[in-house]
Amino acid sequence: MYYVVTGAAGFIGSKIVEALNRHGIADIIAVDNLQQADKVSNLAGCDIADYVDQAEFIARLDRYEGAVDAVLHQGACSDTMESDGRYMMENNYRYSKILLEWCQEEEVPLLYASSASVYGSGPEFREERRGERPLNVYGYSKFLFDQAVRERLAARTAQIAGLRYFNVYGPNEAHKGRMASVAFHAYRQLLELGRVKLFVGSGGYGNGEQRRDFIHVDDVVEVNLWFLEQRELSGIFNCGTGRAQTFNQLAAAVINSVQGTQLPVPELVGKGLIEYVPFPAGLADRYQSFTEADLSRLRAAGYSAQFMSVEQGVAAYVKALQRK
């Protein structure tokens, strides 16, 4: 029996493949679109049974009847600035719906990537319809599929678990370009420019004091694997740390990890190591100045592991980047 991982050459998908390998699982069908060929480096150290193109897989699902143990659906267009709504809905919503129907027909567990973008500007970040107001077509594509899942939960034939990822950072994200994490860009800026650029204040927050729920990719992977073992659990769950931290804190963690220091934010600003820049035109009105996962539902389901803080996670990430 095979495990299917979509988006397998991408950021989170490749880390899930790595984790499955560590658990002795290599019967993996890796599904992705390698039009961006440099993503393949994320899979180079992994063991898989087969690679299948994204379009080919969905068109030939009948070939896999009775052969799949679980599907971990991580593939999506994650560019929040994408303006082609038709592409976004076809890639993120329609594709996911086809996969959902097939998994239900086959009685195969489906774990899939949702997103905290469904909450828009907040201020509530719990898995309830009243707080879901996406600000862009990416968030809407994720929101609409979550709605389709909710309609199927009562009559499901197998596990359906959606994980709403908050701000994920960590190894294997370099290919994402502008959509890579703030931690990645901060590291690159520090090496190339000698300083980290953050946005000026917004949403009532001071310069660099906007707060996000930053979660290390290793913690995200652990949540996925836990649900894979808890096949009686279905629903939509937040996947963040439950602890908002500032962009200033993240930038300081990057700088201090690289330089081996423990300097506070005001001193880093005074030394010119943190610089505040204006928002690009049109972004400020669609910017999430605060996110923080409400973990009540995840904890009630039984997940008890702790999550890395920004300071812990960034330190580990910087070490990984320095080994490249």
Distance separating alpha carbons of residues 128 and 261, to the nearest angstrom: 42
For the chain, first and last CA: distance in Å? 35
Residue 290 and residue 229 in contact, taking contact as beta carbons nearer than 8 Å: no
Could you tell me how far CA 257 lies from the centroid of its own chain? 23
Residue-level pLDDT at 226 = 98
**Contact 132/169 with Cβ under 8 angstroms?**
no
Residues of the chain with pLDDT under 70: 77-84
pTM: 0.95
The strand pair at 110-115 and 245-246 is best described as: unpaired
Element (H, E) at 139: helix 137-153
Q: Are strands 196-199 and 274-277 parallel, antiparallel or unpaired?
A: parallel
- Tell me the per-residue pLDDT of 174-219, one tens digit each, with 9 for 90 and over: 999 988 999 999 999 999 999 999 999 988 999 999 999 999 999 9
pLDDT value of residue 284: 74
The per-residue pLDDT for 107 is 98
Catalytic residues: 138, 176
State pLDDT tens for residues 116-149: 999 998 899 999 999 999 988 999 999 999 999 9
Q: Write down all domains in the chain, each with its CATH number in brackets.
A: 2-169+216-242+292-307 (3.40.50.720), 174-211+245-288 (3.90.25.10)
Residue whose token pair is 């509530």: 124
Residue 139: predicted pLDDT: 92
State residue 98's pLDDT score. Answer: 96
CA distance 263 to 256: 7
**Cis peptide before 123, with omega less than 30 degrees from 0?**
yes
